[in-house]
Structure 1
Amino acid sequence: MNFNEKLAQYAELAVQVGMNVQKGQPVLINTTTDAVEFARLVVAEAYKAGASRVTVNFTDEFVSRAFYENASEEEINHYPEWAAKQRDELIAKNGALLWIDSEDPDLLEGIPSSRISAQQKAGGKALENYRNAVMSDKIAWSIIAIPSEKWAKKVFPHLPEEEQVNALWETIFSTVRIGEGNAVEKWHTHIEELESRATMLNEKHYKKLHYKAPGTDLTIELAEKHIWLSGASKTPAGVPFIANMPTEEVYTAPLRSGVNGTVSNTKPLVYSGNVIDGFVLTFKDGKVVDVKAEKGEDLLKELLNTDEGSAYLGEVALVPHESPISSSNILFYNTLFDENASNHLALGGAYGTNVEGGRDLTESQLPSVGLNTSITHEDFMVGSAEMDIDGELADGTLEPIFRKGNWAF
């Protein structure tokens, strides 16, 4: 396949598998000005699939940074009402949402962490309805990525500048199974394999997970009626979609108060245009009680103080070290990719779909089934080739789940 054929298949994949656009459905695309040409392909593909209206919101890196550098404190603490209403209308009409990510991982480096945190809090409050819809899969949504020059330079600094973007394109195509054969069919097969793992874990009904690795000694109790899921989700109408492309994970919800011990990150966390790395979190009864970081410690502390729930876990996800993205030995500085190369956890809100009957619960009801709630949900990577994970059954028996970073069964 030549480059244009791969690009066309990527747009098709985003529409048919990622969002799985239905006839008469409105579509909203959020992306940056680096993705204009590709966004046009997705728009055409969405209309071909029967979308009623396709709207694209473009952001620009200069404009985004200029806001944080120059806006008043009043505006930093405000989120536009019209932007929230746009998403509320999409939810009301059972629309589909796509993010096309291509941002510079260092976009907001040097911006005071307090300003970034204030805008995150404002957005979190204003978008509560939208967040609830996404976290409970009430609408179809998906995240994909394409290269930008700055991101490609961050990932491939050793390559000549004129080769960096193309190298990142080819790597992304590979991670989403584009290059040989029908990518849509390959994805259906891939999801079946992930769902078989989730089924095995659901049949075990583990009470706790025990993590051991250099710098990590952590116990995570799972919610009583937890459900392991793969990257495949379904709307209330039963329409399947893939939230993250690529995806290599199976995941579930921890008990809010059931996390104890210490965990160290194994890949950088890119949060709000900044890199946070070399950090260690200590948990007691579910909450982070101590934090240290070699880079970005102040921003990490701001994240943990966003609201009451941001210092608790909302997700535990298993990804084997010998997975396609991990085996590439590429550090993407992008959570969408790096989380699918590593076991990871998420600070903040839990997905209601990860517990029996949770989809129909409101955010305020989720604590009644042991789940955490927060306006944040930030994944961070903890897996490595040295990680062992044991599952604890109801009678206290321990069984190996991961050995040396990979599935033990």
Structure 2
Amino acid sequence: MDPRIREHAEIIAHHSVDLEAGDDVVITAPPVAEDLVVALHEVIGDVGANPISLSSDDRAQRAYLRASEEDDFETPAHTEALIEETDVYIAIRANENVTETSDVDAEINAAYRRAQKPITAERLSKRWCLTQFPAPANAQLAELSTEGYENFVWDAVNKDWDEQREFQANMVEILDPADEVRIKSGDTTDVTMSVAGNPVLNDYGEKNLPGGEVFTAPVPDSVEGEVLFDKPLYHQGREVTGVYLEFEDGKVVDHAAEKNEEVLTEVLETDEGARRLGELGIGMNREIDQFTYNMLFDEKMGDTVHMAVGRAYEDTVGEDNEQNDSAVHVDMIVDMSENSKIEVDGEVVQKDGQFIFEE
């Protein structure tokens, strides 16, 4: 086994979820990520915790969803009970076919997400980590060789996270006391939002591995302006490009996409909260220096900003502020490398991808 897999497992256990003896651990992973699952079981055994691993096979999921009707879904009590009794939840992403679920009806996907919402909320209340195993299909999507993609993933994951935390703390210090943020990019993106009273989190490889962002939640009704998300995303096994959103009083009042606009429409029609922003994130991981069609990595790129429609994470919402609630949380990226700036309370804190505290 590649020694970097064991290092990956060690970082998950000891850095990301702070594993302790006696912890009950649920791991979800596809078969192609078996080596990382095995390494995690070794580490969990060393600690004296209790693992159970569940398959997250895309082919099986596709078969289930295509055989279901929109009104069939209910929150599965047995799954909810398992997560309620869990101390640590580890989700591993890896694909044998990145478009496996592309022929599942978007309305079915949305209905399934709504039924899963209580389980998602329960998982987020635990110590949890979402990470990536470098599978060949993900390498192909990134237009890299298998070896090249392995190097890319483990360079981004197996790093000095204390050093990354210190670097990102500069942005937390700027954003945490702020009232208003403005994102401006070319002639296509100019959006403002209030973040007043909402905590700013420093993501240095805990819940998301790799980490590499500073993020918070906008005040839901404060978002005004328009955004062109000029980086593509894969959602429900389909590529969505050229996403355009226009906001008034915090709500999406107009939207478009160059490709697979119906996927975007179904996301926005999931529920009321899906038309509002739940997250503003600023990418700061300089080890992630190329776009790979994988949001777990792409949103951390150091010259990007991402915004998510849908659910706001509870930890990013102040005690006196409203938490945007939704069954979805879909991130989309704006390239900030050219003709772009981030303003915080009227002060430019990043210009053309360069932060004011960087040499």
2:343 matches 1:390: yes
Question: 1:345-360 maps to which residues of 2 (within 5 A)?
Answer: 345-356=307-318, 358=319
SS in structure 1 at match of 2:219: strand
Select the residue among 75, 82, 88 that pairs with 2:78. Answer: 82
2:11 matches 1:48: no
Q: Post-superposition shift, 1:191?
A: 1.8
Contact 2:83 2:123 in 1 (8 A): no
Contact 1:274 1:296 in 2 (8 A): yes
Match of 1:401 in 2: 349
Question: 1:29-178 maps to which residues of 2 (within 5 A)?
Answer: 29-51=27-49, 53-75=50-72, 77-90=73-86, 95-103=87-95, 104-124=97-117, 126-127=118-119, 130-131=120-121, 134=124, 138-156=125-143, 164-176=145-157, 178=158
CA distance in 2, matches of 1:192, 1:28: 31
Q: Post-superposition shift, 1:192?
A: 2.6
Question: 1:347-386 maps to which residues of 2 (within 5 A)?
Answer: 347-356=309-318, 358=319, 369-386=321-338
Identify, as 1 or 2, the structure richer in helix: 1
SS in structure 1 at match of 2:26: strand
Query: What is the percent sequence identity of the aligned residues?
Result: 26
CA distance in 1, matches of 2:123, 2:109: 24
Match of 2:245 in 1: 281
Q: Post-superposition shift, 1:132?
A: 5.3
Select the residue among 191, 194, 203 that pairs with 1:221. Answer: 194
Match of 1:244 in 2: 208
Q: Post-superposition shift, 1:196?
A: 3.7
Match of 1:323 in 2: 286
SS in structure 2 at match of 1:147: coil
Select the residue among 295, 308, 311 that pairs with 1:335. Answer: 295
2:166 matches 1:192: yes
Write the deviation string for residues 112-135 of structure 1: whole angstroms up to 9, x where unpaired: 2122222122212x42xx41561x
SS in structure 2 at match of 1:24: coil
Write the deviation string for residues 222-242 of structure 1: whole angstroms up to 9, x where unpaired: 2x312211015xxxxxxxx70
Q: Post-superposition shift, 1:315?
A: 1.0
CA distance in 1, matches of 2:58, 2:123: 28
Q: 1:132 to 1:369 in 2, by over 3 A?
A: farther
Q: Post-superposition shift, 1:81?
A: 2.2
SS in structure 2 at match of 1:369: coil
In structure 2, give the amino acid aligned to 1:380: M
CA distance in 1, matches of 2:352, 2:70: 48
In structure 2, give the amino acid aligned to 1:44: E
Match of 2:12 in 1: 14
CA distance in 1, matches of 2:12, 2:19: 9
Q: Post-superposition shift, 1:166?
A: 2.2
CA distance in 2, matches of 1:133, 1:61: 20
Match of 1:236 in 2: none
SS in structure 2 at match of 1:225: coil
CA distance in 1, matches of 2:54, 2:224: 41
Q: Post-superposition shift, 1:313?
A: 0.6
SS in structure 2 at match of 1:264: strand
Q: Post-superposition shift, 1:79?
A: 4.1
Contact 1:254 1:371 in 2 (8 A): no
In structure 1, give the amino acid aligned to 2:51: V
Contact 1:31 1:101 in 2 (8 A): yes
CA distance in 1, matches of 2:24, 2:70: 35
Q: Post-superposition shift, 1:258?
A: 0.3
In structure 1, give the amino acid aligned to 2:55: F
TM superposition score normalised by structure 1: 0.81
SS in structure 2 at match of 1:379: strand
Write the deviation string for residues 264-294 of structure 1: whole angstroms up to 9, x where unpaired: 1122122222221111000000000111001
Contact 1:350 1:373 in 2 (8 A): yes
Select the residue among 269, 275, 280 that pairs with 2:233. Answer: 269
TM superposition score normalised by structure 2: 0.92
Q: Post-superposition shift, 1:73?
A: 4.3
Q: Provide structure 2 residue ranges, at least 5 long, that are not aligned to the other structure.
A: none
Write the deviation string for residues 146-184 of structure 1: whole angstroms up to 9, x where unpaired: 12232222112xx6xxxx3222111101111x3xxxx4x
Write the deviation string for residues 312-369 of structure 1: whole angstroms up to 9, x where unpaired: 011111125x8221x2x2x22211011111211111122222244x4xxxxxxxxx51
Match of 1:364 in 2: none
Contact 1:264 1:281 in 2 (8 A): yes
CA RMSD of aligned residues (A): 2.0
